[in-house]
Structure 1
């Protein structure tokens, strides 16, 4: 083939080409990685006695009338296959020794629809490029599932997430049972697969970390661009536009979540979407935004003064949040729980509330025991990050090398009679993405400054 091969990102976003060749069809993360993930899952299923995995990519969702949302596969489906098209299914039959067979079911090539919607992969290329033993058209899905599910003890799938999927699983199970007179044994149970795949997804492989590092770099540069652009009088939506421009300019396919651009009193609303409010002199701007690259999320929050200079009150609160984040970073290490960084941050934040006289005199322990600190800090300090921005895992999950978490303490001070007016409408959150190593953490998102002096310098320059 003449010329450079398409990049993984170009393939992932399904850039329209005039002719699809097998070598042009690829997943952003190489097929051997998907094979390794499938083998790990197969080993676990073998330990349960074997069975058949049935996973759906999901359907295209209509936004309004005949206008669909951009499609994105279910994260577990992406993790195991990398296949980017809607309506696809992935099947894996595993025996009790770990031997497996994988099948990818997808839409057929369709010359007429491809004029409108772009090139489809089709079964003829899907198996070769997306880590399946064979690929079939969707029309053959029912008979294939029924054939694979004979003489295995269980079906493994996502249960309780989609009523239509649950019903389809029951239909397939009934069809296998109907073959009992022919000597075919049907599965006697359907097992939810979510927890098993979650355990795998928690530990990122080298390709995943490389992708997340690049996503973090793009997002950091977008934050820097938005920060440098901001001046009193700019609207929140104008600042958001700077973020989105940089995301796409650098190759990210989409935002990882709805971007939060909050100025003035909006900074005390945790999930305020950018609106038409103009930023005023003397106010803070809080941006919580990250891109998605090849399926993987980034997640950064920074808070900065619209005019480039923190007021004394803003700076006092900001320094408390910086200290709380550092305490949480120090507590993020292998063997700790995800709740440990939160607990470390809360102690610093509670002490800061007392020092700034935001709360009546008390003790840090008293504020924590009573929950009094939650008046100004009402969310957790972090979450896992990966294919989902709020990725698999919970607060009691022991941290280990290869995991990626966010670290995001904040303080949100709404106007109130018992609060000094200089603190009103100060909402501050600082968030970084942390890759756990064997010795501690590698902060992926420090391409955008955190220290107050560095922020003021960036905006001044």
Structure 2
């Protein structure tokens, strides 16, 4: 719009000035040579002028309606822009004057009216632009005019704790009626404010004024009260103006909820603004927002779509509570992930049901705790609390499940119940007992199609799931950075594990997605090394494979770095090769790409690189690759799905898993791609899948000597004389979490340092503020309130 106005303005000015050449011919009506057609020029300019006026008036209106402002302020803003409609009116009225002057022989005399209306148009526009500056002037002369209440002060008690904390980085040193008054609040970078009773998210649209009064009690003690001031009387306003003019300069902040607050930081001490309180309106909102609701119903519908049935009941029990054998100690609770996908609940002893035909999702929870259970373990959530924080159609206690089952059997001609596992039929057969009057109805249990349907649904992540994975990755990023900053001081692998886990816990991520792998030296060549208890002395590299969970959603990140802050020659060669493998493989990720092709690319690059280093020989790159000799250095797959599990489920998918005989889904082994050619169609990438790309090169002495060098098909290509040189490297793996987008990919963990950036942190450290900015889930948008 600015461009259009600029071009139009230049044309109008220069066109009017040089309508005739020479310019004097404009005033000589008897000479038309060298002049543009005046009527056509004036009316075309008028049409453009009217059109731009209408656009300037109308374009802001939809945006103003969307502003999160009090109604009074929104109307005021719309009035300012609406006043500009008068400019449009003057432009139209001026057309009559233009018609008169176009037929005139004396343009100086007959152009007076057109000049008057042009002047009115310009001055109205200037008045509109100047309106915002009037408000502060009026508020100084008549401060009560802009107050929502002229003589009273309305307060809402935020905190009544005897030891309420100091809420900000400044103090209002005035005294009201014998009370000390502290003003302020901790303003967080992402819009969070703390109170003694907990924390709540805020969305500030105008000035926030918080007051804490310390009042003497009758027994000589003091009580601390925190208030929000909605308005102030003239007398109180005078006191504030006379005693101090400090307040919070609150800026508009992006909306967020608790899960997005990991990068929130209090305002630094001493960072105050001093400004007259009359320049600001009253406080508008400080409210605790409910966390984003888990989309259980959306997930249930997705499962039903993949089930491709018209009726039936999905019956899925969660993880039961239990104790260790011969102990009263409770087993660490981990919710069954299939159950969580349809419920979002982390409560033990629950059941979820979904009636496919009636689109009815229900949660069945244990009865509320009472008596000594509450004393020892606290209260369990009620059905009302669960319903309030979920999108279930119904929530009830599981001791009332029988009534629901009877109703379901009664209304179904052929009751069908979908189960996840065959062994669930034992429990389900006790639950789904037909009523005596309907004994001829036999409930059919189907445990063949629910798991494939849920796998197909789970592999495509919802927007909520992607947010949770991002959050887990953001906290994991902080933990990896914290390890890098201190690794030079560490003496043992256990310190790496301790710092990583403690950083995650400090950011409210109390569960790791899997056991931390902190292998140094030769331990880096053990893929799932878990001891983490050996000395770091004399070792070159650490392979840190670690990621936390956030609300049951996993992250999975691996970084390899030198303990000393400097790579050995051999370690640098292997690291650069793996980095190239990962970079080129990630670049291949896009919708409809076959992940097996990407995996093959990793082996091709590895083969080429190992040939150049002399670790492979006696054949061409193609010959060695076909023989599969690269498996001796890269024995695992390139990656896997990521979600509720670190190695998440999929529709046949990346891991190509087989059940171990006698075991269920939770006990599986991966198999080589050579044995899985029939699964090729299942390895296609689709938008909103989250996968890992984690190439590696390993020098595992046992595997090399006891497995690969005893295989004649592979050993002939391995240069045994070179192995001793590289054994001290141990292993290098680099892993990132990749979101498949509509047109390519997004590396969710790209901000976690690696390579030269990791070396800089190890050797020099990095300013904490810079690190926080790099890994922040959101950026603070600082918007200055230009009018109200």
* TM-score tier (shorter): 0.7 to 0.9
Greater Cα shift, 416-425 or 282-291: 416-425
- What's the RMSD between the two structures over aligned residues? 2.6
Whole-angstrom CA distance in 1 between matches of 2:288 and 2:398: 22
Q: Does the residue aligned with 2:360 lie in a helix, a strand or coil?
A: strand
CA distance change for structure 1 residues 177 and 44 in 2, over 3 Å: closer, same or farther? farther
Q: CA deviation at 1:68?
A: 2.4
Quote the Cα distance in structure 2 between the aligned partners of 1:241 and 1:85.
28
Contiguous gaps of at least 5 residues in structure 1: 11-22
Q: 1:341 to 1:145 in 2, by over 3 A?
A: farther
Matches within 5 A, 1:59-458: 59-63=320-324, 65-95=327-357, 99-111=358-370, 112-150=372-410, 151=412, 152-160=414-422, 163=423, 165-172=424-431, 175-176=433-434, 180-181=438-439, 184=441, 186-187=443-444, 189-231=446-488, 234-393=491-650, 394-395=653-654, 396-415=682-701, 418-426=721-729, 427-451=731-755, 453-458=756-761
Checking the alignment, whether the CA contact within 8 Å between 1:253 and 1:294 is kept in structure 2 is no
Measured in 2, the distance between the counterparts of 1:349 and 1:282 equals 24
Deviation by residue 1:242-263 (Cα, 9 ceiling, x = unmatched): 1011101112131010110001
Deviation at 1:187, TM superposition (A): 3.0
How far 1:127 sits from its partner (Å)? 3.0
Cα drift, residue 63 of structure 1: 4.7
- Give the drift of 1:143: 4.5
Instruction: Tell me by how many angstroms 1:139 deviates.
Output: 2.1
1:57 aligns with 2:307: no
Give me the whole-angstrom Cα distance separating, in 1, the residues matched to 2:288 and 2:387: 13
- Measured in 2, the distance between the counterparts of 1:201 and 1:179 equals 40
- The answer to whether the 8 A contact 1:268-1:425 is kept is no
Would the aligned equivalents of 2:306 and 2:454 in 1 still touch at CA under 8 Å?
Answer: no
Measured against aligned partners, the alpha-carbon deviations of 1:224-258 in whole angstroms (never above 9, x if no partner) come to 11122112761111111110111011121310101
Q: CA deviation at 1:300?
A: 0.4
CA distance in 1, matches of 2:455, 2:637: 20
Q: Report if the CA contact (8 A) 2:493-2:533 is conserved.
A: yes
SS at match of 2:444: coil
Q: Confirm or deny that 1:38 pairs with 2:300.
A: yes
Secondary structure of 1:68's match? coil
Confirm or deny: 8 A CA contact 1:435 1:442 kept in the other structure: yes
- Secondary structure class of the residue paired with 2:352: strand
CA distance in 2, matches of 1:101, 1:421: 64
Contact 1:9 1:251 in 2 (8 A): no
| Larger radius of gyration between Structure 1 and Structure 2 | 2
Q: Structure 1, residues 416-443: CA drift from partner, whole Å, max 9, x if none?
A: 6533433113200000000111121111
Match of 2:114 in 1: none
Q: Structure 1 CA distance, aligned partners of 2:532 and 2:472?
A: 25
Q: Which consecutive unaligned segments of at least 5 residues does structure 2 have?
A: 1-156, 159-196, 202-256, 261-286, 655-681, 706-719, 765-788
Shift of the alpha carbon at 1:374?
Answer: 1.0
Show CA shifts across 1:393-419 (max 9, x none): 113332111111000000101346533
Deviation larger for 342-351 or 147-156:
147-156
Residues 162-185 of structure 1, C-alpha deviation per residue, up to 9 Å, x if partnerless?
x3x231123445x2396544x645
Q: In structure 1, what is the Cα distance between the partners aligned to 2:306 and 2:316?
A: 16
Residue range with higher mean Cα deviation, 420-429 or 296-305: 420-429
TM-score (norm 2): 0.52
- SS of equivalent to 1:442: strand
Query: Aligned partners of 2:609 and 2:395: how far apart in 1?
Result: 59
Cα distance between partner residues in 2 of 1:78 and 1:306: 40
Greater relative contact order structure (CA < 8 Å, 6+ sep): 1
Contact 1:435 1:441 in 2 (8 A): yes
How much does 1:24 deviate?
10
Preserved contact between residue 58 and residue 86 of structure 1 (Cα < 8 Å): yes
C-alpha distance 304-180 of structure 1, shift in aligned 2 (>3 A): same
In structure 2, distance between residues paired with 1:25 and 1:179 = 50
User: 1:376, 1:190 → 2: CA distance?
Assistant: 40
Cα offset, 1:195, TM superposition: 1.4
Which segment drifts farther, 399-408 or 113-122?
113-122
Give, in angstroms, the shift of residue 141 of structure 1: 2.8
Give the TM-score normalised by the residue count of structure 1: 0.87
